[in-house]
């Protein structure tokens, strides 16, 4: 198993965000976390990346325990996160934003190959290579921050609400890119999404969260047609 969370409890001050959450993700797999705002989806990503230390439970990555490690150590182990809200460096060029993702690497030839692969994957970024990141559209910025994460050469990519605030057509482009990244580069993906329809359509398995706990889990194709998921997250019949 690539990633495993066992009975994770996480609090903000005295208010719990996660209560006994367990989940896992295999090598090369795409797994979705769906649920409403405040369900605990982003808190799971913060716990994995070391931004928040769990009060109880254990997180392992490739058999090594990582809860308690620093965010920098976790990045070096092969875990990259694309945060909610894009968080670009607006006055820096697309090129420099992308290269920021390779800050832990020293292999110049490998960095050049990664950069070429990102620009091939996202041709819009190649067109805007020297442009300031703050002048890009929301969808283009999202492509850029995914590309920036890929510059770290991760084995596990954590995506926090990549469709948020993006035009519907570009959401489709980003969804296709996520599928291609997993398929072509062998990168495992943990996808946090409120757009449950999109998340279930591109993932192998999913966990539905409710107020800090796992309410349902299973194969995404089965959850897509589960009446409880349809009623809570998909707006009825699909």
Q: Is residue 116 part of a domain?
A: no
Q: Is residue 150 part of a domain?
A: no
How much is the pTM? Answer: 0.92
pLDDT at site 155: 96
pLDDT score of 10 more than 90: yes
In whole angstroms, what is the distance from residue 51 CA to residue 67 CA? 10
The string of pLDDT tens digits covering residues 223-236 is 998 988 887 776 54
Q: Is residue 157 part of a domain?
A: no
Q: Is residue 222 part of a domain?
A: yes
pLDDT at site 104: 85
Quote the domain boundaries for residue 57: 1-78+196-238
Query: Could you give the number of structural domains in the chain?
Result: 1
Which CATH number do you get for residue 15? 3.40.50.300
pLDDT at site 18: 97
pLDDT score of 110 more than 50: yes
Q: pLDDT grade, residue 237 (50/70/90)?
A: very low
Q: Is residue 1 part of a domain?
A: yes
Q: Is residue 54 part of a domain?
A: yes
Q: Is residue 57 part of a domain?
A: yes
Q: Is residue 144 part of a domain?
A: no
- 103 Cβ contact partners less than 8 Å away, ≥ 6 residues apart: none
pLDDT score of 95 more than 90: yes
pLDDT at site 21: 97
Average model confidence (pLDDT) across the chain: 92
pLDDT at site 194: 85
In whole angstroms, what is the distance from residue 225 CA to residue 216 CA? 13
| Residue 122 burial by Cβ neighbours in a 10 Å radius (0-12, 13-18, 19+) | buried
């Amino acid at each position: 198993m690539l990633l495993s969370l066992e009975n994770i409890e996480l609090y903000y001050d005295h208010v719990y965000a996660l209560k006994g959450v367990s989940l896992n993700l295999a090598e090369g797999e795409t797994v979705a976390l769906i649920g409403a705002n405040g369900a605990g989806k982003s808190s799971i990503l913060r716990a994995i990346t070391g931004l928040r230390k769990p009060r109880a439970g254990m997180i392992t990555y490739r058999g090594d325990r990582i809860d308690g490690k620093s965010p920098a150590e976790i990045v070096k182990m092969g875990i990259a996160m694309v945060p909610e809200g894009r968080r670009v460096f607006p006055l820096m060029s697309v090129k420099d934003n992308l290269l920021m993702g390779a800050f832990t690497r020293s292999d110049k030839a490998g960095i050049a190959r990664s950069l070429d692969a990102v620009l091939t994957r996202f041709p819009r970024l190649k067109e805007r290579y020297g442009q300031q990141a703050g002048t890009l559209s929301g969808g283009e910025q999202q492509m850029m921050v995914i590309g920036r994460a890929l510059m770290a050469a991760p084995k596990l990519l954590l995506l926090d609400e990549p469709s948020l605030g993006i035009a519907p057509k570009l959401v489709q482009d980003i969804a296709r890119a996520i599928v291609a990244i997993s398929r072509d580069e062998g990168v495992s993906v943990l996808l946090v999404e409120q757009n449950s329809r999109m998340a279930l359509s591109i993932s192998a398995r999913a966990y539905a969260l409710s107020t800090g706990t796992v309410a349902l889990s299973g194969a995404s194709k089965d959850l897509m047609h589960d009446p409880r998921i349809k009623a809570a997250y998909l707006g009825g019949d699909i």
